[in-house]
């Protein structure tokens, strides 16, 4: 599994910012996929094993999503539950985040499970899962979204007793349970992570210290770029469509209605605001941070869809009551009009979500297609037969180089053997690049080359074009000047094109000259007319095979 795997600074023992404990379920899924594929003689098929890992994450996410839907339906009614499920199941955000092997993605899955338990009043179970999410993923920042649940638990425990002392005792018992769960999960994670890193360490504490305590020392997440608030607004609209504005409207709608509502309606409004508060709290914090990434929004996608569903539910309820109040002779079809309009809004959101999902698959899948070709066709075509992988092991190392396209490298699961070395050519990127794990004691050993915590470029990472056997490079047409925009690697290859053979070229989206709306949302027979493409090409040095 570790063959050809690249390590970022986060996995270097001296920094230890990522948790191996978090990877255990995925490793188990990978082993299970390997065993299953071996039944068909494909046990060494690494892309299929990687697909099995992603499928495992999707299944976990789907299960928790269904559990949350059932809890929302039980708590707020069939209409709110239906709105939530439709918005969530058809969103591009869930499509992208569900299979991702990221702490933020797993936090989203566990958050849905916590929400399902919270909605049913199962606080002890919810606290256990919440602590697993905070300390088990190695991403402690997500603990913020569980604050409303913990405060709600403490408040209900205080009110449950016949006296203040009894209520205080119940609240103290819940707090004690939370501490026990936190200590147990954190201790287990620290023990496992320390074994993998070869020293006593806690990635959960390390990442918290780096991003919070050491942020003022020239370190912290701002080294990796800063974005304006509009970055998140665009991302939220792309991934949740109209659910985002509907979620933001919820408190603005519920608070004016609260004084006019009866006792039962007031209680329901309070519950809806409370259950949706984690997402609104998280968004407020994320918008205030200079460093912004799309993955930081993953944990609260379900909360956004719940808030949007509650907003639509409140609007339908209020509109139906107004129709009945001012039109005593209102026909049944008029009473159904608000619900029909809300359903039209949900269906519009679903269409946007599916169009966005189609755009992601159609316009951004080129790197995976290229590396699938590398895995299944390029290497196997020269070392074919039942023992092709053994043949690769016997050959001299082959160097596959990437330059400015380093960020398009999908996964080390697309590299069949450690004999295939992924290396980097110099480009206009000046940040820190990953490197392979050490060949022995990989997770414990000091890196082969140095890492730094300032995201500064390390010169040791780069090789020259003369050292490469394969090169991945991109080329785009400049429609303004009717010329070609090529990466530095492509320019160098064109200067020595007699030394290189083009293995394949796949269309690659050119965002600079494509219509922003039609590349973001795929519309059949329309988008292709307004989307421009370059080419992502794989080159092989002449004479290496």
pLDDT above 60 (res 332): no
Which structure tokens are listed for 513?
Answer: 């000259």
Give me the DSSP letters along 483-534.
EEEE-HHHHHHHHTGGGEEEEEEEEEE-GGGS-HHHHHS--TTTHHHH--EE
d(CA 198, CA 192): 10
Q: What is the mean pLDDT of the chain?
A: 90
Residue with the bigger pLDDT between 383 and 524: it is: 524
Percent of the chain residues past pLDDT 70, beyond the cut: 92
What pLDDT, on the 0 to 100 scale, is given for residue 395?
Answer: 64
Name the maximum alpha-carbon separation found in the chain.
88
Among candidates 403, 401, 428, 394, which has minimal Cα distance to 415?
Answer: 401
Running DSSP on this structure, what letter comes out for residue 419?
Answer: T
Per-residue pLDDT of 90-131, as tens digits, reads: 999 999 999 999 999 999 999 999 999 999 999 999 999 999
Per-residue pLDDT of 450-496, as tens digits, reads: 898 888 989 999 999 999 999 999 888 765 555 567 777 788 888 88
Helix, strand, or coil here: 155? Answer: helix
Among candidates 432, 498, 508, which has minimal Cα distance to 473?
Answer: 508
Burial of 399 (0-12, 13-18, 19+ CB in 10 A): middle
d(CA 425, CA 275): 50
Among candidates 403, 440, 436, 439, which has minimal Cα distance to 421?
Answer: 436
Per-residue pLDDT of 365-393, as tens digits, reads: 999 999 999 888 887 655 554 445 555 55
Burial of 10 (0-12, 13-18, 19+ CB in 10 A): middle
Task: Return phi, psi of residue 187, to 5°.
Answer: -65, -45
Task: Return phi, psi of residue 241, to 5°.
Answer: 50, -125
Among candidates 512, 503, 515, 448, which has minimal Cα distance to 473?
Answer: 503
Q: Quick one: angle between helices 78-89 and 332-363, nearest 10?
A: 20
């Amino acid at each position: 599994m570790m063959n050809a795997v690249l390590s970022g600074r986060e996995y270097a023992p001296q920094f230890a910012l990522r948790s191996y404990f978090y990877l255990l379920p995925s490793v188990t899924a990978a082993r299970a996929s390997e065993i299953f594929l071996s039944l068909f003689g494909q046990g060494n098929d690494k892309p299929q094993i990687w697909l099995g890992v992603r499928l495992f994450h999707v299944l976990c996410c789907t299960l928790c999503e269904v559990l949350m839907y059932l809890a929302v339906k039980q708590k707020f009614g069939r209409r709110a539950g239906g709105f939530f499920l439709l918005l969530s199941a058809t969103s591009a955000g869930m499509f992208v985040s569900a299979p991702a092997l990221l702490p933020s993605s797993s936090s989203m899955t566990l958050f849905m499970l916590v929400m399902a338990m919270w909605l049913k009043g199962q606080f002890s179970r919810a606290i256990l899962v919440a602590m697993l999410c905070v300390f088990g993923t190695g991403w402690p920042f997500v603990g913020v979204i569980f604050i409303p649940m913990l405060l709600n638990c403490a408040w209900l425990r205080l009110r449950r007793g016949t006296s203040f002392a009894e209520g205080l005792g119940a609240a103290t018992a819940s707090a004690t349970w939370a501490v026990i769960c936190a200590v147990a999960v954190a201790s287990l994670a620290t023990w496992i992570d320390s074994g993998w890193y070869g020293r006593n360490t806690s990635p959960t504490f390390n990442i918290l210290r780096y991003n919070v305590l050491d942020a003022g020392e020239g370190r912290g997440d701002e080294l990796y770029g800063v974005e304006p608030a509009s970055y998140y607004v665009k991302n939220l609209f792309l991934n949740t469509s109209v659910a985002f504005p509907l979620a933001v409207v919820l408190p603005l709608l519920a608070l004016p209605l609260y004084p006019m509502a009866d006792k039962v309606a007031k209680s329901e409004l309070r519950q809806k605001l409370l259950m949706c508060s984690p997402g609104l709290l998280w968004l407020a914090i994320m918008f205030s941070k200079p460093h912004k990434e799309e993955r930081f929004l993953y944990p609260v996608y379900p909360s956004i869809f719940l808030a949007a569903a509650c907003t639509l539910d409140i609007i339908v309820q209020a509109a139906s009551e107004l129709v009945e109040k001012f039109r005593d002779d209102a026909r049944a079809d008029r009473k159904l009009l608000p619900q029909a309009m809300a359903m039209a809004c949900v269906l519009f959101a679903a269409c946007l979500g599916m169009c966005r999902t189609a755009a992601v698959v159609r316009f951004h899948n080129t790197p995976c297609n290229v590396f699938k070709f590398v895995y299944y066709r390029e290497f196997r075509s020269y070392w074919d037969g039942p023992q092709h992988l053994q043949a690769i092991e016997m050959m001299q190392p082959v160097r596959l180089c990437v330059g400015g396209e380093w960020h398009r490298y999908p996964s080390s699961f697309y590299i069949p053997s450690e004999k295939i070395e992924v290396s980097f050519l110099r480009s206009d990127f000046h940040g820190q690049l990953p490197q392979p794990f050490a060949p022995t004691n990989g997770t414990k050993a000091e890196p082969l080359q140095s890492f730094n915590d300032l995201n500064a470029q390390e010169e040791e990472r780069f090789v020259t074009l003369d050292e490469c056997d394969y090169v991945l490079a991109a080329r785009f047409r400049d429609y303004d000047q009717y010329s070609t925009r090529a990466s530095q690697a492509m320019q160098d290859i064109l200067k020595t094109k007699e030394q290189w053979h083009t293995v394949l070229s796949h269309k690659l989206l050119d965002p600079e000259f494509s219509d922003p709306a039609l590349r973001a949302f795929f519309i059949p027979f329309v988008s292709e007319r307004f989307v421009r493409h370059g080419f992502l090409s794989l080159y092989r040095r002449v004479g290496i095979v």
